[in-house]
């Protein structure tokens, strides 16, 4: 049986492992942390449970497929529920919008709040859907770094509609053109943050993300986001995968331009194939020390990072739901401050995630667990201690003003993550959440491919390589890598 070694157990590493086991490979995973999941992990703080990393769960069928692919019923491992409300939105001028999963209710809310009719919204989302349907087989399910991709039927189908993909417009320009209403433009501009980019620079094709959320909905795992990685870990163990925790990989061993194993904790482990789920920058810098790092990996603009306040709140806020956003007054200035000045704005957009709304055990009775995230620049040696003190004050003042409360009196416990924290804990270069940004028309093509022509039998998966960051794209990355392997499930050993 051919051996595959996977470096790192982020969601893409776990997903790649399941797909390769289904193909008949003997899979081992080496993880430097004491837990699997990478950014998808959790912690407890004085009776409160917090998901430390990603908080939005969409396209659940991508996770279900991993269990089905191994002949298992997903519900025996992992369960989730659909949300009736995608998000609660708040603006400084007092406007509020509840984004219902029921399209008719959502459109009615938009008309009542902003005077935008249902026809406009239908046209906008239909256009987003069309972009997704035209590009999913090209950008999301195949490598962009192989000639075969560009000589496929999918490309021929797309060529007549290139103009409608809005590649030459920014996401903001696209939203301005088709929505116009300022509150809605800001709402749909925010989807650029799903891959850590600037809506005033990232291409308008990114509006396809809106379709995924509006069509497939938002969901909540019954035991929290961390259950995604925990359930996949249980599945892998059941299927015979070997998972080595607290096992830092020091080097990917190569010979004659071929990956032949890894060095971990001073011991060599032979393998026929290696898959790195480590950030591509650190893969080259730490694991491929004798291979020159591609210039685009070193020079590419990193995605945004985040500052996260984890607060245990000793009261309940009925006006809030699982996902909540308090928008800034000047959105363009916010992103210019983040990406141009590498600083934090004085009026940040605030995202508040409260899992205890759906999982009561996540907080003591009558209390809530707040995950408060602010978009931030990646780490470039800023004075985070000073910046956090100022940011905390601004965030509290903004919450107090928009929700008409005195939130500081309700904060019982607190933990703070900065971009430096994120880099240290997840080995994400400079603390960027999604690898490189998508702030250019060619960004999709500039991401590192899922393989390298310099070394045979070496592959790359995860948010820092094609097709990008975020749970759905990481799962798609795993599928792209697995498709590079022959099916050996019927091969007699």
Asked if 36 contacts 233 with a C-beta cutoff of 8 angstroms, the reply is: yes
d(CA 63, CA 47): 29
Calculate the CA dihedral of residues 291, 294, 299, 304 and round it to 10 degrees.
-90
Could you give the C-alpha distances from 454 to 21, 33, 297, 299, in angstroms and in order?
Answer: 26, 29, 15, 19
Instruction: Give the integer Cα–Cα distance in Å for 243 and 253.
Output: 19
- Which of 224-233, 245-254, 297-306, 420-429 shows the lowest mean pLDDT across its residues? 297-306
Q: Which of 219-228, 281-290, 481-490 has the lowest mean pLDDT?
A: 481-490
Band (pLDDT 50/70/90 cuts) for residue 174 is very high
Cβ atoms within 10 Å of 90's Cβ, excluding its own: 21
pLDDT at 148 exceeding the cut of 60 = no
Taking residues 329-341, what's their average pLDDT?
97
pLDDT tens per residue across span 363-390: 999 999 999 999 999 999 999 999 999 9
Residue 492: what pLDDT? 44
CB atoms closer than 10 angstroms to residue 347 = 17
- The answer to whether the beta carbons of residues 456 and 258 sit under 8 Å apart is yes
Mean pLDDT of 306-326: 98
What is the Cα gyration radius of the chain?
Answer: 22
pLDDT: is 316 or 211 the higher one? 316
The structure's pTM equals 0.93
pLDDT, average across residues 174-184:
96
Residue 231 corresponds to which tokens in the numbers above? 């359930």
Model confidence band, residue 112 (pLDDT cutoffs 50, 70, 90): very high
Residue 243 has pLDDT above 90, yes or no: yes
**Per-residue pLDDT averaged across 250-274, rounded?**
96
User: Between 131 and 403, whose confidence is greater?
Assistant: 403
> Which of the residue ranges 9-13, 47-51, 201-205 would you say has the lowest mean pLDDT?
201-205
Strand, helix or coil at 357?
helix
pLDDT of residue 88: 98
CB of 29 within 8 A of CB of 16? no
Identify the pLDDT of residue 387: 97
Spatial distance between the Cα atoms of 346 and 122, rounded to a whole number of angstroms: 35
The pair of three-digit structure tokens given for residue 144, joined into one six-digit string: 């962009």
Mean pLDDT of all residues belonging to the chain: 92
Token match 């308090």: residue? Answer: 326
Residue of 379, 384, 407 lying closest to 395 (CA atoms): 407
Q: Is the pLDDT of residue 151 over 50?
A: no
In the prediction, which pLDDT does 443 show?
62
Task: Please tell me what DSSP assigns to residue 441.
Answer: T
Q: How far apart are CA 89 and CA 69, in angstroms?
A: 38
Phi, psi of 449 (to 5 degrees): -70, 175
Q: Which segments of 13-54 are extended strands (E)?
A: 26-30, 42-45, 48-51
Query: CA-to-CA distance for 141 and 466, rounded, in angstroms?
Result: 10
More confident site: 270 or 466: 270
The helix/strand/coil state of 152 is coil
| 459 bridge partner residues | 275, 451
Strand, helix or coil for residue 467: coil
Q: Are 249 and 263 in contact (CB under 8 A)?
A: yes
- Give 431's pLDDT tier (boundaries 50, 70, 90): very high
- Residues ≥6 apart with Cβ < 8 Å to 153: none
120-146 residue pLDDT tens: 999 999 999 888 877 776 666 655 555
Q: How many CA atoms lie within 13 A of 206 on its CB side?
A: 34
Q: pLDDT band for 339, please (50, 70, 90 cuts).
A: very high
**How far is the CA of 130 from the CAs of 124, 125, 202, 355, 422, in angstroms?**
10, 9, 19, 33, 36
Residue 32: the pLDDT is 96
DSSP state of 315: S
> Is residue 430 predicted with pLDDT exceeding 70?
yes
Mean pLDDT, to the nearest integer, of 406-425?
97
**Residue 476 in contact with residue 463, Cβ under 8 Å?**
no
386: left (phi over 0), alpha (psi -120 to 50) or beta: alpha
């Amino acid at each position: 049986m051919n051996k595959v070694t996977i470096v790192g157990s982020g969601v893409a590493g776990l997903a790649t492992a399941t797909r390769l086991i289904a193909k008949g490979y003997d899979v081992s995973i080496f993880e430097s942390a004491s837990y699997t999941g990478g950014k998808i992990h959790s912690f407890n703080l004085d009776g409160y449970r917090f998901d430390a990393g990603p908080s939005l769960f969409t396209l659940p069928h991508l996770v279900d497929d991993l269990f089905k692919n191994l002949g298992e019923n997903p519900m025996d491992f992992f369960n989730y529920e659909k949300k009736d409300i995608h998000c609660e939105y708040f603006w400084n001028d007092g406007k509020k919008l509840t984004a219902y999963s029921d399209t008719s209710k959502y459109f009615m809310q938009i008309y009542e709040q902003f005077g935008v009719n249902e026809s406009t919204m239908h046209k906008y989302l239909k256009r987003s859907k069309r972009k997704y349907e035209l590009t999913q087989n090209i950008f999301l399910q195949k490598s962009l770094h192989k000639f075969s991709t560009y000589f496929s039927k999918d490309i021929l189908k797309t060529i007549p509609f290139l103009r409608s993909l809005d590649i030459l417009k920014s996401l903001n320009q696209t939203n301005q053109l088709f929505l116009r209403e300022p509150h809605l433009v800001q709402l749909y501009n925010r989807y650029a943050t799903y891959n850590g980019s600037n809506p005033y620079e990232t291409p308008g094709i990114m509006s396809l993300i809106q379709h995924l959320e509006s069509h497939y909905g938002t969901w909540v795992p019954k035991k929290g986001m961390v259950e995604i990685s925990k359930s996949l870990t249980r599945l892998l163990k059941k299927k015979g995968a070997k998972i080595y925790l607290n096992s830092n990989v020091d080097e990917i061993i190569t010979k004659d331009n071929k990956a032949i194993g890894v060095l971990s904790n001073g011991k060599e482990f032979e393998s026929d194939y290696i898959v790195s789920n480590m950030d591509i920058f650190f893969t080259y810098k730490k694991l491929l020390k004798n291979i020159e790092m591609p210039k685009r990996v070193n020079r590419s603009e990193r995605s945004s990072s985040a500052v996260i306040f984890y607060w245990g709140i000793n009261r309940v806020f009925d006006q809030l739901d699982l996902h909540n956003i308090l928008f800034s007054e000047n959105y363009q200035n916010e992103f210019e401050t983040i990406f141009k000045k590498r600083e934090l704005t004085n009026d940040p957009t605030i995202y508040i995630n409260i899992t205890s709304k759906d999982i009561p055990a996540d907080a003591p009775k009558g209390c809530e667990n707040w995950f408060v995230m602010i978009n931030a620049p990646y780490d470039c040696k800023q004075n985070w201690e000073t910046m956090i003190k100022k940011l905390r004050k601004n965030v509290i003042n903004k919450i107090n003003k928009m929700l008409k409360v005195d939130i500081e009196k309700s904060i019982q416990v607190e933990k703070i993550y900065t971009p430096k924290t994120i880099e240290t804990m997840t080995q994400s270069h400079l603390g960027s959440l999604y690898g490189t940004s998508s702030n250019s028309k060619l960004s999709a093509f500039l991401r590192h491919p899922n393989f390298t022509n310099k070394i045979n039998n070496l592959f790359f998966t995860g948010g820092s390589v094609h097709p990008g960051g975020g749970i759905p794209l990481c799962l798609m990355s795993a599928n792209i890598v697995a498709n590079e392997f022959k099916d050996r499930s019927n091969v007699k050993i």
